């Protein structure tokens, strides 16, 4: 058998005395796609950050092409040794162009002067490989999250690495982009590269994966050939138990109308036109559609994050005239946004501060925060959502990606809400924790709250909602009753241009 591209043995890593990895092993062979799986906080990103020189290990050995490393890698040396990583959290410079981001620190120069034309041409080559029709001169901040993710992938491809680590590459991609990415992965594999593939979208694994390694609580559980295992087995290794029900649906009698949206238009983002629908108390309304269909724009306009250019939002029978997210909150309408880093979290603050920020009235008296109450409330939240953290006073930026997402969802749950809107609530969340989030959504439903959620995962839409609004190109193309519909019908209306 060929020598492994890399092998890590007995890797240990602790953060402030808490182990993120304990005695972990991992091996990547040439021409294989190796899935690295585990619950949120299991240590996947940490292990890959060690391999790519972002973190240094406390102990353990790393072999590259059979040679033991005597020095720790840095991000630069890892890059020159052929290790490329696509990080879970996007790492692009928003104010630079696509080409500038792809070739950051590796700019194309002619006699010392930046050759922008050549750089844009080169960038275009990699963009085309991923079937992306983007002008390399576009500023990255103008692109939707899914395209930014694709640019990040291009950047790593352009480094011509022999080891490519993809940490949750598809969590923000559209179906078509996923297809294009899978084609590229097949090509890379053919060329003898090794790919580490981290994902919580377990259904997609069968399309590309050769082997799987599963981590649990920072320990290596098992490594198997994908062909010799099954998803239920993988899940049971990940969570340490079997899960009986993926979608814990509950039936609650539908109450009165709580929200009415009439003829809503907005010109922000992809824009939306003439969106009208009703939401009832105790109802879960899903918004399905392809990326760019206008679902996020709809919820942003309703919740005051974007300005409406037309239409009306009626809350409990009265025109709501929501001016800002703060105004929405004061009227009992909450929105957990899609882009957690930009809109949903203050990553430089602690978990407790993030959870209590929209709930200051609950935890303060005469304008002073009562830290004891803050701590207690946050601990309750951490427990009910199974947020993995050494303490509630941990900085949010140090939490694993999925645990950050739980904070975004969790911070609204203390409120007295009328309407709660979730935009992709389970993105990047592991199978077991998804169920926790569904249970929270069910709790809201039981309490007569109207819940809306935007989701790109059709099984989740079908598994959890009562009705589905399907959108395409900024318009509603169909409203469906969940129990009378299926995946094909939703997709049909989602692609009705
Ligand atoms: N820089 C850091 N400082 C402190 N703790 C950290 C840091 N980075 C990671 N951790 C902790 O290490 C543990 C493992 O995190 P890691 O990001 O590797 O998880 P993961 O398996 O990638 O999870 P996810 O699926 O949610 O992305 C977590 O408990 C996390 O809070
Ligand atoms: Mg991670």
CATH number, residue 100: 3.40.50.300
pLDDT at 99: 95
Residues 57 and 186 in one domain: yes
Residue 51 CA to ligand 1 center (angstroms) comes to 15
The pLDDT of residue 18 is 87
pLDDT of 9: 96
Is residue 78 located within the same domain as residue 224? yes
Q: Are residues 146 and 275 in the same domain?
A: no
Smallest-distance ligand from the CA of 19: 1
Identify the residue whose C-alpha is closest to ligand 1 atom 12: 20
Domain boundary among 212, 239, 266: 239
pLDDT class for 447, splitting at 50, 70, 90? confident
Whole-number Cα distances in Å, 452 to 18, 124, 374, 431, 468: 38, 39, 28, 21, 10
pLDDT recorded at residue 443: 82
230 and 271 belong to one structural domain? no
In this structure, what token pair is assigned to residue 51?
Answer: 């391999």
**Of 172 and 30, the one with more pLDDT:** 30
Number of domains in the chain: 2
- Residue pLDDT, tens place only, 49-63: 999 999 999 999 999
**Of 251, 248, 178, 187, which Cα lies nearest the Cα of 433?**
248
Cβ–ligand 1 contact at 404 (below 6 Å): no
Range of 86-95, 237-246, 338-347, 466-475 with top mean pLDDT? 466-475
Closest ligand relative to 389 C-alpha = 1
20 Cβ closer than 6 Å to some ligand 1 atom: yes
Q: Residue 193 C-alpha to ligand 2 middle, in angstroms?
A: 22
Q: Would the CB of 49 count as within 6 Å of ligand 1?
A: no
Determine whether the shortest distance from the Cβ of 402 to ligand 1 is under 6 A.
Answer: yes
- Residue 95's pLDDT band (boundaries 50, 70, 90)? very high
Place of tokens 């020159």: 80
Residue 252 lies inside a defined structural domain of this protein: no
Q: Does ligand 1 have an atom closer than 6 angstroms to the CB of 199?
A: no
**Closest ligand to Cα 199:** 1
Residue 487 lies in a domain: yes
Q: Choose one of 239, 269, 301: the last residue of a domain.
A: 239
Higher pLDDT, 457 or 401: 457
**Choice between 401 and 489, residue whose per-residue pLDDT is larger:** 489
- Residue 246 domain flag: no
Q: By residue range, what is the domain housing residue 418?
A: 257-494
Residues 224 and 277 in one domain: no
- Give, using CA atoms, the residue closest to atom 7 of ligand 1: 398
> How high is the pLDDT of residue 342?
63
Domain co-membership, 297 together with 415: yes
Q: Are residues 425 and 463 in the same domain?
A: yes
Nearest to 200 by CA among 262, 241, 246: 246
Q: What is the pLDDT of residues 203-219, one digit of tens each?
A: 889 999 999 999 998 99
Q: What is the mean pLDDT of residues 150-155?
A: 88
Nearest CA to ligand 1 atom 1: 398
Residues 277 and 172 reside in one and the same domain:
no
How far is it, in rounded angstroms, from Cα 120 to Cα 47?
Answer: 34
When pLDDT is averaged across residues 32-36 and rounded to a whole number, the result is 98
Residue 97 belongs to a domain: yes
Q: What is the percent of the chain with per-residue pLDDT over 70, rounded to a whole number?
A: 95
**Confidence (pTM):** 0.79
Judge whether 478 and 470 are in contact, CB under 8 Å: yes
Is the per-residue pLDDT at 1 higher than 60? no
Q: Is residue 275 in a domain?
A: yes
Cα separation, 195 vs 185, whole angstroms: 8
If asked whether residues 182 and 283 sit together in one domain, one would say no
Note whether 218 and 266 are same-domain residues.
no
The answer to whether residue 440 scores a pLDDT higher than 70 is yes
pLDDT tens per residue, range 343-384: 667 778 888 888 877 676 666 677 776 678 788 888 888 887
pLDDT number for residue 2: 62
Residue 332 backbone zone (phi > 0: left; psi -120 to 50: alpha; other: beta):
left
Indicate if 291 and 186 belong to the same structural domain.
Answer: no
Specify the pLDDT at position 485.
Answer: 95
Q: Are residues 261 and 190 in the same domain?
A: no
403: Cβ below 6 Å to ligand 1? yes
**Is 32 inside a domain boundary?**
yes
405 lines ligand 1 (CB under 6 A): no
Both tokens of residue 454? Answer: 């935007």
- What's the pLDDT score for residue 341? 63
Q: Domain ends where: 239, 268, 298?
A: 239
User: 97-111, 221-235, 327-341, 383-397 — which is least confidently predicted?
Assistant: 327-341
Alpha carbons 261 and 279: distance in angstroms, whole number: 9
Non-local (6+) Cβ contacts of 67 within 8 A are none
In a domain, 250, yes or no: no
50, 55, 58, 60 alpha-carbon torsion, rounded to 10°: 10
Does 327 reside within a domain?
Answer: yes
């Amino acid at each position: 058998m060929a020598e492994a591209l890399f092998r890590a043995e007995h890797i240990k890593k602790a953060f402030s005395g808490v182990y993120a990895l304990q005695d972990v092993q991992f091996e990547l062979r040439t021409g294989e796609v190796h899935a690295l799986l585990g619950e949120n906080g299991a240590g996947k990103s940490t292990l890959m950050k060690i391999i790519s020189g972002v973190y240094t290990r406390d102990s353990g050995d790393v072999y590259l092409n059979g040679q033991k490393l005597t020095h720790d890698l840095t991000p630069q040396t890892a890059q020159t040794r052929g290790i490329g990583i696509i990080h879970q959290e996007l790492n692009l410079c928003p104010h630079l162009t696509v080409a500038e981001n792809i070739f950051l620190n590796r700019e194309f120069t002619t006699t010392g002067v930046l050759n922008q034309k050549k750089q844009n041409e080169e960038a275009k080559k990699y963009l085309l490989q991923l079937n992306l029709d983007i002008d390399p001169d576009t500023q990255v901040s103008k692109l939707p999250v899914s395209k930014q993710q694709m640019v990040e992938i291009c950047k790593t491809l352009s480094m011509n690495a022999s080891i490519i680590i993809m940490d949750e590459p598809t969590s923000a991609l559209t179906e078509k982009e996923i297809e294009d990415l899978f084609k590229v992965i097949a090509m890379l594999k053919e060329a003898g590269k090794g790919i580490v593939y981290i994902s919580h979208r377990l259904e997609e694994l069968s399309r590309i994966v050769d082997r799987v390694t599963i981590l649990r609580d920072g320990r290596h559980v098992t490594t198997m050939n994908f062909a010799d295992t099954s998803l239920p087995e993988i899940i049971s290794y990940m969570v340490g138990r079997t899960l009986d029900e993926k979608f814990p649906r509950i039936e609650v009698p539908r109450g009165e109308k709580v929200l009415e949206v009439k003829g809503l238009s907005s010109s922000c983002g992809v824009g939306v036109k003439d969106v009208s629908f009703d939401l009832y108390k105790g109802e879960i309304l899903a918004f399905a559609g392809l990326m760019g269909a206008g679902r996020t724009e709809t919820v942003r306009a309703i919740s005051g994050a974007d300005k409406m250019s037309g239409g009306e939002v009626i809350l409990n029978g009265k025109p709501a005239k929501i001016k800002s997210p703060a105004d929405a909150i004061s009227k009992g309408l909450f929105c957990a946004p899609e882009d957690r880093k930009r809109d949903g979290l203050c990553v430089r603050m602690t978990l407790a501060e993030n959870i209590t920020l929209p709930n200051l009235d609950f935890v303060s008296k005469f304008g002073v925060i009562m830290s004891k109450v803050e701590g207690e409330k946050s601990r309750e939240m951490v427990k009910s959502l199974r947020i993995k953290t050494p303490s509630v006073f941990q900085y949010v930026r140090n939490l694993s990606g999925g645990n950050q997402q739980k904070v975004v969802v969790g911070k609204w749950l203390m409120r007295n809400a009328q309407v709660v809107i979730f935009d992709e609530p389970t993105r990047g969340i592991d199978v077991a924790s998804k169920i926790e989030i569904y249970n929270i959504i069910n709790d809201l439903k039981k309490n007569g709250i109207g819940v809306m959620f935007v989701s790109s995962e059709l099984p989740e839409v079908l598994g959890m909602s009562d009705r589905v609004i399907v959108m395409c190109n900024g318009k509603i193309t169909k409203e469906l009753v969940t129990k009378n519909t299926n995946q094909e019908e939703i997709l049909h209306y989602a692609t009705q241009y």
